[in-house]
Amino acid sequence: MPAQQLRSGAQARVASTYQHVVNHHAPGLRRSEVIKQAVLLFSGSLTGLASPSPSLATPTSGSVARLETLRDCSLAVSIYPTFAYNATGGGGRGRVLEVNGDVLTVEFDATSLNIPPIDYRSTKVVGVPIPPPLKIEILPKSLKGTIDVRTGEANLDFDAQFQFDAGSLYHAAPLSIVTKLSTEGSEGRMLRGPGERLRDGKLKLAGVSEVPKTGDGLLDGFLLLPSEALAVLSAEIHFDP
């Protein structure tokens, strides 16, 4: 039935019900009470007046997980000041592998993960963009873990290589970062970062990891390796059937 006909029919039932209340129950009642009783009587008639709003998809095994990285991120290595990092535009896709009550086991496809490089466009240190041609590419190898859709707690194991470059001047050995990114925050011997549980599709994950020497004497000396690294990632996560 067309929406206009549904609306017209419901309006007619509303008017009829209101008149019924006036005729049989109105004596001694204020106008507001008459309206209230009429609403209660014809509430069922209101079904179909409004367009149905889409409901959030309930993730199931096999559901698609979509990750989008946001601007409020940060990175730190060793004793150096924290980098303010804008990761807007990154993300990737994965799958829900298992559902155990409210807890989802998810794994993202490493080949689909795109995390913007750390460079003068995306990253500042004490309010100043890092100088070109310095650039650090983030090359994800894996991202997987669990998300509790009831409490919002998430714990994702992250494995990536960070590739330092200074244009044609210098090309460093890859820096290996393996950490657990958690909405519960993370704390090491030197570094710590806060997390935020999943709410309305958004969360903040933090992870501190031990960083071994790379074998590149210049990089190891500059970063005082072995040491710690901190990653704080703000993101949106959504699920499709």
Is the torsion defined by CA of 128, 131, 134, 137 positive or negative? positive
Same domain? For 235 and 124 the reply is yes
Same domain? For 10 and 87 the reply is no
Domain assignment of residue 59, yes or no: no
Same domain? For 162 and 94 the reply is yes
> Are 158 and 182 spatial neighbours (Cβ–Cβ below 8 Å)?
no
Q: The tokens of 94 are what?
A: 């994965």
Q: Which amino acid is at 199?
A: R
> Are 13 and 46 spatial neighbours (Cβ–Cβ below 8 Å)?
no
Same domain? For 35 and 84 the reply is no
Same domain? For 28 and 140 the reply is no
Q: Largest alpha-carbon pair distance within the chain?
A: 94
Domain assignment of residue 56, yes or no: no
pLDDT of residue 58: 78
Same domain? For 126 and 198 the reply is yes
Place of tokens 């980098």: 83
Distance CA 13, CA 7 (A): 10
Is the torsion defined by CA of 82, 83, 88, 91 positive or negative? negative
Distances (CA, A) of 142 to 13, 45, 97, 139: 59, 53, 15, 9
The DSSP secondary-structure symbol of 117 reads -
Domain assignment of residue 58, yes or no: no
Domain assignment of residue 57, yes or no: no
Q: The tokens of 184 are what?
A: 């519960």
CA angle 111, 207, 204 (to 5 degrees): 80
Same domain? For 121 and 15 the reply is no
Is the torsion defined by CA of 96, 111, 130, 87 positive or negative? negative
Provide the domain limits for residue 18. Answer: 3-46
Same domain? For 102 and 142 the reply is yes
Tens of pLDDT, residue by residue, the chain (241 residues): 444 444 445 445 545 544 554 455 445 555 555 444 544 444 444 443 333 323 345 799 999 999 999 999 999 999 999 999 999 999 999 999 999 999 999 999 999 999 999 999 999 999 999 999 999 999 999 999 999 999 999 999 999 999 999 998 999 999 999 999 999 999 999 999 999 999 999 999 999 999 999 999 999 999 999 999 999 999 999 999 8
Q: The tokens of 226 are what?
A: 């072995």
Distances (CA, A) of 160 to 53, 103, 111, 139, 179: 40, 25, 12, 5, 9
Domain assignment of residue 54, yes or no: no
pLDDT of residue 199: 96
Same domain? For 145 and 228 the reply is yes
Q: The tokens of 58 are what?
A: 């309930």
